[in-house]
Amino acid sequence: MKVAVYGQAYSDNALDYVLELLDELSSLAAEVYFEKEFYQVLQVSEKLKVYPLFTEAKGLDDTFDMLVSFGGDGTILRAVTYVKNLNIPIVGVNTGRLGFLSTFKKEDVRKVVKEFIAGAYTIVERSLVEVHTHPPTPEFNSLNFALNEVTVSRKDTTSMITVETYLNDDFLTSYWADGLIIATPTGSTGYSLSCGGPVIAPTVKSLILTPIAPHNLNARPLVISDDTEIRLRVSGREEFHLVSLDSRIATLENGTEILVKKASFTIKMIEYTSESFLKTLRNKLLWGEDKRN
């Protein structure tokens, strides 16, 4: 068994749970690799042994059985940039707060290994979106994909922007708003949800267009097929606007053509039998939390 361990945020007791995972893996004589920066953060303790490291430059390969992410959902979004199209399954141990992607409780970290070995899980494929711009945007380079959403938003102004939107070259509308979110089903529980978008099950083949604080109040979130190509062009009082892919942000000049479409590969998420998507909705969104129930 070959396992990659990744994390970003560090809490006082995160090391304790990492050590529990390592203890469980050692009983299987598993090969363990650490992301370099996370490993350096954890080296506050002499309890951590020496492990081989990986970085963005010296990355992973398709021989890994899983990647374990310690942190919140943002950590998993960052982990995706290491996994890319290698088909390495990801599981998140939640040391953050909400956690729609990072669902495993840190107190149950040993079960990550035990239930994997027992086969008490399924692999759920999560679709991504990718961005192409004309002219090209060097900030995105080869990391031009997002698991949650692509967001176009205003920059250096309190004025709204106009987002001219085409679906498969057919004009949809011009959103007059603070911005526009194009979310995957995975991202439907993120920024899009905060802006009034619907919750979509992870396996549904769709994308969501959610305007951010639209001035034309009849502009509602729209669910479309995920084989749709979305073309955007932004105008406004300022010369530039922002485009973000999950947590990666670039500044684009107004008038730049932005093409958003479904990526050619998927991310494999490990969904344990004990931690289903519906259970996560009940726990995180407090569905059914009513004194009358």
12: annotated active-site residue: no
With the CA atoms of 227, 251, 142 and 205 taken in that order, what torsion angle do they form, in degrees rounded to the nearest 10? -20
Question: In sequence order, what are the beta bridge partners of 40?
Answer: none
- Options 73, 108, 170, 178, the catalytic residue: 73
Which active-site residues does the annotation give? 73
